[in-house]
Amino acid sequence: MRILFTAGPAHGLTLPIVPLVWAARAAGHEVLFASASEMVDVLSRAGLPVVDVFPDHERWDAVMGAAMSPAGPTPEQLAGVPEWMAETFAEVARTERGPFGSFTLAMTEGTIEAGRAFGAELVVHTSGHPAGGLTADALGVPVLEVGNRISWSSRDADSPFRVNEDVDRLLRDRLGIPGNGPEVIARIDPRPPSMGGLAADEPDAFDEVPWWPMRFVPFNGGSAVPDWALRRPDRPRVGVTLGTVVPLMSGTSTVMVALDALADMDVEVVLAGKIELGSVPDNVRAVGYLPLSVFLPTTSLLVHHGGSGTTAAPLHHGVPQLVLPSFADNPLSAERVVGRGVGLSHDPATVDADTVRATVCRLLDEPEFAECARAVAEEMASQPSPSDVLQRAVSRARME
């Protein structure tokens, strides 16, 4: 089967679906990933065939920068944007929290063209990326929606994501997409049951489309594994990261507080991420960009910002967490972590070194956190794998 995958072009939105694409390739299916911006290179390095559906990278950077600006886009930023799209884009950029409507506007036409040229027989897209559903509708093929967050699912009554009806209507009118919606095979919730996920199939409360559970298998990129990462040290190893977005949007003050707190503790600190700090305490190993899954198996605690992929990785490895949530759905991740007992959280705006130090001591010394983390890892391991779900989806698609 020829399967077109697509997701919002950001690390936290795209990487969670990579194991499902690998499952499709391993099963012998032809796959293509429709993406944009830096994710084209990231997906290529993950060994996947990918098409850039918005290849004007200079224009993309301007448009997406405008999408994240509270003031909305300037005429200069909209220069080169098709006239039919510009007015709606400006409105979306001014009124919508986050870039999702802008992703849909910018990527749908190119994704449809790629899917048509590829001969897609099934479209798989992540929750919060309506370009996938619009593409399936345009091509007349079934679609599988895959959740890509630990923090929330579109099946939640209080889900923060809503389809932008103005964007949907504009794209359907402009691109001649039918208005009846695609045939949805199923929707996937990748959370463990004890953190809001599913223990078994469940019909959607609104349209009765089935929801299926699936194991969240973290993918953070590939890397040569350093020798130290394979060995558990004599003292606790504490990972610290802010992911890929927070350092650009909010700076590195939270990391500096964490490192100050850990500097006089008997721990080994691994600072992961593209963060320029100059000198660091003697017990800190600054490793630059290193996938979390490389060193989490020998780590006792991860301190992080609450990104969904970053939260999922220590859950998979049974590692307790200290979450200092930044923005977007980060606070929801923190609530999940604290509610399940696998970690603690604190507002980064008010946190200080003494608070971080005391919280880290609790997480390392009180065995309940590690016990709960191991229990969640075992729970996740018992869920259907991406390969299981892919095989099931393909079987259903062939029946449509």
Regarding whether 394 and 272 lie in a shared domain, the answer is no
Q: How far apart are the first and last CA of the chain?
A: 13
The answer to the question of residue 87 being in a domain is yes
**More confident position, 136 or 349:** 136
The answer to the question of residue 9 being in a domain is yes
> Residue 246 — very low, low, confident or very high, per pLDDT cuts 50/70/90?
low
Regarding whether 265 and 192 lie in a shared domain, the answer is no
Token pair of 270 as six digits: 């691994």
CA distances from 165 to 88, 96, 134, 169 (A): 11, 12, 12, 6
Regarding whether 251 and 155 lie in a shared domain, the answer is no
**What pLDDT is recorded for position 244?**
60
pLDDT tens across 24-75, in order? Answer: 999 999 999 999 999 999 999 999 999 999 988 777 777 677 666 666 677 7
Residues contacting residue 249 through CB under 8 Å, at least 6 positions apart: 326, 327
Regarding whether 258 and 140 lie in a shared domain, the answer is no
**Could you tell me if 237 and 300 are in contact, meaning their C-beta atoms sit under 8 angstroms apart?**
yes
Q: Which residue segment(s) compose the domain that 271 sits in?
A: 227-381
**What pLDDT is recorded for position 115?**
98
Query: Is 97 a residue whose pLDDT tops 70?
Result: no
pLDDT tens across 343-400, in order? Answer: 999 999 899 999 999 999 999 999 999 999 999 999 999 999 999 999 999 999 998 7
Q: Which parts of the chain fold into alpha helices (H)?
A: 11-14, 18-26, 39-45, 57-67, 75-78, 83-95, 100-118, 131-139, 165-175, 246-250, 253-262, 292-295, 308-317, 330-340, 353-365, 367-381, 386-399
The answer to the question of residue 375 being in a domain is yes
Regarding whether 361 and 347 lie in a shared domain, the answer is yes
Q: What global pTM score does this model have?
A: 0.92
Regarding whether 69 and 10 lie in a shared domain, the answer is yes
Q: What percent of the chain has pLDDT over 90?
A: 69
Would the CA dihedral through 105, 106, 111, 113 be positive or negative?
positive
Task: Give the C-alpha separation, 301 to 322, whole Å.
Answer: 8
> Average pLDDT over the chain, rounded to whole?
90
The answer to the question of residue 198 being in a domain is yes
Regarding whether 395 and 348 lie in a shared domain, the answer is no
> Residue 251 — very low, low, confident or very high, per pLDDT cuts 50/70/90?
low
Task: Give the C-alpha separation, 239 to 149, whole Å.
Answer: 21
Regarding whether 211 and 146 lie in a shared domain, the answer is yes
Residue found by looking up tokens 């990129």 in the block: 221
Regarding whether 327 and 366 lie in a shared domain, the answer is yes
> Residue 229 — very low, low, confident or very high, per pLDDT cuts 50/70/90?
very high
Residue 149 CA, chain-centre distance (Å), reads 6
> Residue 193 — very low, low, confident or very high, per pLDDT cuts 50/70/90?
very high
pLDDT tens across 195-227, in order? Answer: 999 999 999 988 999 999 999 999 988 899 999
**What pLDDT is recorded for position 69?**
66
Buried b or exposed e, range 257-277, using 16+ CB within 10 angstroms: bbbebbbebebbbbbbbebee
pLDDT tens across 266-293, in order? Answer: 999 999 987 777 788 999 999 988 999 9
> Residue 163 — very low, low, confident or very high, per pLDDT cuts 50/70/90?
confident
**What pLDDT is recorded for position 394?**
97
State mean pLDDT over 117-144. Answer: 97
Query: Is 79 a residue whose pLDDT tops 70?
Result: yes
Regarding whether 172 and 279 lie in a shared domain, the answer is no
Of the given ranges (93-97, 233-237, 243-247), which has the lowest mean pLDDT? 243-247
Q: What is the DSSP letter of 280?
A: -
Regarding whether 281 and 375 lie in a shared domain, the answer is yes
Regarding whether 391 and 359 lie in a shared domain, the answer is no
* DSSP codes joined into one string, 347-374: -TTT--HHHHHHHHHHHHH-HHHHHHHH
The answer to the question of residue 111 being in a domain is yes
Query: Is 141 a residue whose pLDDT tops 80?
Result: yes
pLDDT tens across 299-314, in order? Answer: 999 999 998 889 999 9
Q: What percent of the chain has pLDDT over 70?
A: 94
The answer to the question of residue 220 being in a domain is no
**Could you tell me if 221 and 313 are in contact, meaning their C-beta atoms sit under 8 angstroms apart?**
no
CATH of the domain at 63: 3.40.50.2000
**What pLDDT is recorded for position 66?**
65
The answer to the question of residue 6 being in a domain is yes
Q: In this structure, which amino acid lies at residue 276?
A: E
Count of structural domains, the chain: 2
The answer to the question of residue 222 being in a domain is no
Q: Is 120 exposed, middle or buried (0-12, 13-18, 19+ CB in 10 A)?
A: buried
Token pair of 301 as six digits: 């605690």
With CA atoms as reference, report the closest residue to 131 among 16, 23, 54.
54
